[in-house]
Amino acid sequence: MLNRVILIGRLTKDPELRYTPAGVAVTQFTLAVDRPFTTQGGEREADFLPVVTWRQLAETCANYLRKGRLTAVEGRIQIRNYENNDGKRVYVTEIIADNVRFLESGNNRNQSSPPPSEPSNKDPFSGDGKPIDISDDDLPF
Amino acid sequence: MLNRVILIGRLTKDPELRYTPAGVAVTQFTLAVDRPFTTQGGEREADFLPVVTWRQLAETCANYLRKGRLTAVEGRIQIRNYENNDGKRVYVTEIIADNVRFLESGNNRNQSSPPPSEPSNKDPFSGDGKPIDISDDDLPF
Amino acid sequence: MLNRVILIGRLTKDPELRYTPAGVAVTQFTLAVDRPFTTQGGEREADFLPVVTWRQLAETCANYLRKGRLTAVEGRIQIRNYENNDGKRVYVTEIIADNVRFLESGNNRNQSSPPPSEPSNKDPFSGDGKPIDISDDDLPF
Amino acid sequence: MLNRVILIGRLTKDPELRYTPAGVAVTQFTLAVDRPFTTQGGEREADFLPVVTWRQLAETCANYLRKGRLTAVEGRIQIRNYENNDGKRVYVTEIIADNVRFLESGNNRNQSSPPPSEPSNKDPFSGDGKPIDISDDDLPF
DNA sequence: TTTT
DNA sequence: TTTT
């Protein structure tokens, strides 16, 4: 009934922009977030949290985020599952972001998710996109 | 650098209380959290999010939470990994809770995590506990 | 650049629905939220936090929320100011909610803020409403 | 029962460190947080949100925060009241922070609130401090 | 009263 | 000024 996540961390790599078969933009990146404590050996560890953004926000993230940049993300946790090559069901936990803040960048653009006023698969559009590996079934709204 | 999660959902089962080899209490349960939208077929789906609590908060959760109860959880996302029987590294994403609110219950007790003022493994204590299956290396602080 | 509030508490009174001069619905209520600690005299205190909702969410809150109901609110903190009768500037801190969860209710309806796809003052509508005391300048988007 | 605020913004001034009569450190500063939308005239507005930190976290904030610095704050909203010179009761809404992240700084130190393991007024200590203007009654825990 |  |  309520599912809210707020993260601040750094991108482990440049973001990756893909398109669904219907032409919807999806950007994925991983945020390294330091843990609030050190290990018994005095080491500071981090969690590497996968983030997914859709549509306009995906395009903006692909344009402005880069490896190493300090970034704030707001969204919700979601568990996606699919069948792998061995026919086994695999569960993936991801943060579906609806708000991303670029805390470091050349021009400091920031962007929130402009919510879809229309069903987005009304005007399917495919062909200009990158190779496809994400299903439209994964669309978060 | 910042990692905050807030969930409201219902327990899918009664919570499970375990003890680490050093005698530290750990309670695990899963929260079913409805997604904020319906699927293309009009179905409402949910995410089933694993929650972990430690020490005093673990004891309180084990005492007061039950299957089906509406519950609020505050914490952080953490990725734990271990080697499975096939020698493969498995990654598990969990919410480490430091605050749990019992939104439905007989007596409506609630509890926050009383933070560890002392290293908790100073006074190892084991023997009264349930069978052990969680390592002390997983201690969140 | 980021402003997020999540509250769980109880309404101190029934919510109040008003309309702006342009006919936009606004609902206000106060949430009593217990503090996480007791006072030196062992008393438990609460904060009484004013919440504002707009448009469709305002109508839903007016319909479903009632005094004493346990309620979760997501939104942002905003400071509004106006000139009072003495010509002095007064500052009011409020939570502008975009998501409200009815944790107790007859039928357990819940509602998120359906974001404005169009400028909402396109079709001003006034006359059926209650006496007006909120300016359209206070519109949060 | 739950009261959580997360902000990212910039300090409008250098932070101010004070001490209570019992010698407890308190640091106050204001965070300018841009609103997520522009006004009808295309202007971007901000909210100026007062933040309070206590004890060790207060000292760290006073040492490392400066005017203009981008800063993340986690805490809860609290309403404090006092009688002013005219004998009128005045209400002040503040964010009591328990976690502050320095997103810009020389050496990028960050600090969470080390929770009070002992009642802090056990060892009152006053005299080295700045002039006093905050009551020990305002202590958040 | 305010930050970039 | 306040809720359970």
What domains are defined for chain D? 1-37+44-105 (2.40.50.140)
Q: What is the DSSP letter of A121?
A: G
How would you write the pLDDT of chain C (141 residues) with one tens digit per residue? 999 999 999 999 999 999 999 999 999 999 999 999 888 888 889 999 999 999 999 999 999 999 999 999 999 999 999 988 888 899 999 999 999 999 997 554 556 665 443 333 322 223 333 333 456 656 665
Sorted by sequence, the CB contacts under 8 Å of residue A87 that are 6+ apart come out as: none
Q: Kindly list the residues from chain A whose CB atom is less than 8 angstroms away from the CB atom of residue C103.
A: 1
- The answer to whether some atom of strand F lies closer than 7 Å to the beta carbon of D88 is no
CB D75 within 8 A of CB D112: no
Q: How many CB atoms lie within 10 A of CB C102?
A: 21
Kindly report, residue by residue over D132-141, the tens digit of the pLDDT: 345 665 666 5
Kindly report, residue by residue over A10-32, the tens digit of the pLDDT: 999 999 999 999 999 999 999 99
In C57-118, the DSSP E strands lie at 70-83, 89-102, 111-112
**Average of pLDDT values for A91-99?**
98
Secondary structure of residue B11 in the 3-state scheme:
strand
* CA–C1' gap, D69 and E1, in angstroms: 19
Kindly report, residue by residue over B42-92, the tens digit of the pLDDT: 888 999 999 999 999 999 999 999 999 999 999 999 999 999 999 999 999
Query: Long-range contacts of range B126-129, CB-CB < 8 Å, 24 or more positions apart?
Result: B126/B19, B126/B21, B126/B22, B126/B23, B127/B23, B128/B23, B129/B18, B129/B19, B129/B23
CB C78 within 8 A of CB D36: no
What's the predicted TM-score (pTM) here?
0.84
pLDDT of residue D40 exceeding 90, the answer is no
CB B131 within 8 A of CB B16: no
Q: A47-56, A67-76, B103-112: which range is least confident on average?
A: B103-112
**Average of pLDDT values for D37-45?**
86
* CA–C1' gap, A48 and E4, in angstroms: 30
Question: Is A72 within 8 Å of C2 when comparing Cβ atoms?
Answer: yes
Q: Kindly list the residues from chain C whose CB atom is less than 8 angstroms away from the CB atom of residue D95.
A: 77
Q: How many CB atoms lie within 10 A of CB B112?
A: 16
For C2, left (φ over 0), alpha (ψ -120 to 50), or beta?
Answer: beta
Q: What is the DSSP letter of A124?
A: -
CA C125 – CA C136 distance, rounded (Å): 12
Question: Is D36 within 8 Å of A112 when comparing Cβ atoms?
Answer: yes
Query: Long-range contacts of range A107-111, CB-CB < 8 Å, 24 or more positions apart?
Result: A107/A64, A109/A60, A109/A63, A109/A64, A110/C1, A111/A56, A111/A57, A111/A60, A111/A61, A111/A64
Closest CA to C54 of C27, C15, C21: C27
Bigger pLDDT: B106 or C4? C4
Kindly report, residue by residue over D73-102, the tens digit of the pLDDT: 999 999 999 988 888 899 999 999 999 999
Closest CA to A15 of A75, A77, A76, A57: A57
Q: A61-70, A98-107, C6-15: which range is least confident on average?
A: A98-107
